[in-house]
Amino acid sequence: MARVESAAGREASQGGAALAAFLAAGIGAFAMGAVVLANESGLFVAPSLYAPAGGVSGRTTIAVLIWLVSWGVLHARWKNREIDAGPVRIATLVLIGIGVIATCPPVWSLF
């Protein structure tokens, strides 16, 4: 299913199902950052689903739902395909980086 390296030394295709899970993790991290940033800037008010946790319960629930939907859609589309892993890995790392940065309080003050 997965090939690690081709004869030319370049990375070859990998299973789409695994890469769908990988990219969905990046989308989920980005969603968390976007929801937090939108909430803190006043564009969106996350509901409090569990009173002792406050708004963080709503923000994390929304991000988890986005992650699950993106994983399901990507898995359905990629499960029987071989996908080039390089661009998917780069996109995932960029999305995770943006998501983590967007959850930092100094970034909120910019908006």
Q: How far apart are CA 52 and CA 65, in angstroms?
A: 21
Four-residue CA torsion sign, 51, 72, 3, 85: negative
Q: What pLDDT shows up at residue 2?
A: 47
CB 40 within 8 A of CB 111: yes
Q: What is the pLDDT along the chain (111 residues), one digit of tens a residue?
A: 444 554 444 555 678 999 999 999 999 999 999 999 998 888 988 888 888 888 889 999 999 999 999 999 999 999 999 999 999 999 999 999 999 999 999 987 787
104 by DSSP, 3-state: which?
coil
pTM: 0.83
Q: What pLDDT shows up at residue 70?
A: 98
Strands (E), the chain: 13-15, 82-84
Domain segments of the chain as ranges: 29-103
Q: What pLDDT shows up at residue 111?
A: 72
Q: What pLDDT shows up at residue 32?
A: 95
Q: How far apart are CA 84 and CA 24, in angstroms?
A: 16
What is the distance between the terminal CA atoms of the chain, rounded to a whole angstrom? 46
Q: What pLDDT shows up at residue 42?
A: 86
